[in-house]
Amino acid sequence: MVVVLRKKGTKLYYGNQARWVGPPLAVRFETVEDALLFSRGGHLRDMEVVILHSDQLHKKVLPIGRKSWTTPEWVRTGQV
């Protein structure tokens, strides 16, 4: 299992030094939480966490809500 960050609009993955790359060159995170914290700390917006399975054919895409992980505090719907 591989955990990576992907830009929603372009479907490119986060690579080293803030470059956007294809899946083989993407930065790999140990856990979903690590990816979420990195996204928040780097102020990366419009991201999603992608979990690639070992066969690279099956994946799960987890959207990152901008009202939770990209702001310093939890924000209720309609407050942004």
pLDDT block averages, 10 residues each, the chain of length 80: 92 89 91 90 86 79 65 53
Strands (E) located in 8-69? 13-14, 20-21, 47-52, 59-63
According to the model, what pLDDT value does residue 75 have?
A: 52
Res 31: pLDDT: 93
Residue 29: strand pairing partners: 3
pTM of the model as a whole: 0.74
* Length of the chain, in residues: 80
- What's residue 5's pLDDT? 94
The confidence score (pLDDT) of residue 62 equals 80
